[in-house]
Amino acid sequence: MHEVILSVGIDIGTSTTQLVFSELTIENQATSYTVPRISIVDKKVIFRSEIFFTPLLSQTEIDGEAVKQILESQYQKAGMKPEDVKTGAVIITGETARKENANVVLETLSGLAGDFVVATAGPDLESVLSGRGAGADTFSKEKRCVVANVDVGGGTSNIAVFDHGSLIGTTCLDIGGRLIKVDRETKRITYIYSKIQKLAMNEGIPISVGDLADTARIRRICTLMADLIGQSLHIQPKSVYYNEMFTNGGKGLKEEVIPTAVTFSGGVADYIYQEADSDLFRYGDIGIILGQEIRKHCFLQQ
């Protein structure tokens, strides 16, 4: 017997927040004499919200009330009420998951529906979710090859590697489009993540909060970030910064895990696959330039 239920997924990322409503068709595939085995046999997205910048109170705190207001407005726009939703997930990902009040925000938002999975996605889980969501596992299975998906977001780059469809490795780097923020009006730098500041300083690239965003300097930094992605895939020789860029003191892929194909997902990926307009700082960060530097990097030309 089939049953159709309403599900909602809420993703609060480093750069953006989005909500998706779906209809899930579930079915008990067990026989009358065995333990129930419920499976999702069909799913259909019925509403996808706008993409909002994730509101912050400071560099270390999420603005939980502002996030809640965004989500409540999207419930209204979709014509949904919290009591209509049977299940779903609220997941905080990337750099946002490391904010001081991340768990408090999760508790606040869990009231928007009934039976929620509420989680702060760690680097491994986020890598797997983004890799499978991008279809890298399916591509790997169909082409019978080793595929790495690199999900380049605002605060982190999550990597999942699949061999003939099976997951064989994950890792995560502190590389993303919002690790340097730029005021969209004045074009002055308002934030630099500590690891990126150190990377620039050690390479003799002068950059500080309050400076005008110099495109040439930022390109040099983004090239270094692209280098590190190539190194993490064992395509580029390792630099002295290699071990410092893994998220939460994590480790890289095993040396024997070498992809034969690379796919990209995440907000920055838009500018790996397509050309940008003239305003390189239109999103208040370096995401566009980072995408451009990854696109033309030599590790993708091999």
d(CA 268, CA 94): 13
**What does the block give as tokens for 227?**
């280098």
Pairing of strands 87-92, 115-120: parallel
Asked if residues 270 and 294 have their Cβ atoms less than 8 Å apart, the reply is no
CA distances from 102 to 44, 94, 183 (A): 30, 11, 25
105 in the same domain as 150: no
Phi, psi of 122 (to 5 degrees): -75, 170
Q: Which of 82, 106, 121 is the last residue of a domain?
A: 121
**Size (the chain), residues:** 302
The residue with greater pLDDT, 113 or 254, is: 254
pLDDT value at 212 more than 80: yes
Domain holding 76: CATH number?
3.30.420.40
Asked if residues 112 and 82 have their Cβ atoms less than 8 Å apart, the reply is yes
Using DSSP, state whether 264 is helix, strand or coil: strand
Q: Tell me the pLDDT of the chain averaged across its residues.
A: 86
User: How many other C-beta atoms are found inside a 10 Å radius of the C-beta of residue 265?
Assistant: 21
210 in the same domain as 132: yes
236 in the same domain as 179: yes
49 in the same domain as 172: no
Determine the structural domain holding residue 283 and report its residue range: 124-300
133 in the same domain as 113: no
279 in the same domain as 137: yes
93-110 mean pLDDT: 71
pLDDT value at 185 more than 80: yes
**What does the block give as tokens for 52?**
């909002």
Give the closest residue to 196 by CA, choosing from 154, 235, 233: 154
Domains held by the chain: number: 2
**What does the block give as tokens for 213?**
């965003």
Task: Write the pLDDT tens digit of every residue in 32-49.
Answer: 666 666 666 788 899 999
User: How many other C-beta atoms are found inside a 10 Å radius of the C-beta of residue 279?
Assistant: 10
d(CA 102, CA 54): 12
d(CA 212, CA 110): 41
Asked if residues 127 and 172 have their Cβ atoms less than 8 Å apart, the reply is yes
23 in the same domain as 57: yes
Q: Which of 55, 89, 121 is the last residue of a domain?
A: 121
d(CA 121, CA 129): 9
Task: Write the pLDDT tens digit of every residue in 122-167.
Answer: 667 788 888 988 899 999 999 999 999 999 988 899 999 999 999 9
pLDDT band for position 298 (cuts 50, 70, 90): low
pLDDT value at 251 more than 70: yes
d(CA 160, CA 171): 7
d(CA 225, CA 210): 22
86 in the same domain as 136: no
Give the closest residue to 223 by CA, choosing from 191, 259, 188, 199: 199
pLDDT value at 29 more than 80: no
251 in the same domain as 133: yes
Give the closest residue to 178 by CA, choosing from 276, 284, 282, 292: 284
Q: Which of 97, 121, 145 is the last residue of a domain?
A: 121
Domain holding 216: CATH number?
3.30.420
Task: Tell me the range of 29-43, 168-182, 288-302 where mean pLDDT is highest.
Answer: 168-182
d(CA 134, CA 207): 34
Please name the residue ranges forming H helices in the chain.
64-78, 102-109, 123-133, 136-143, 194-202, 215-232, 270-273, 287-295
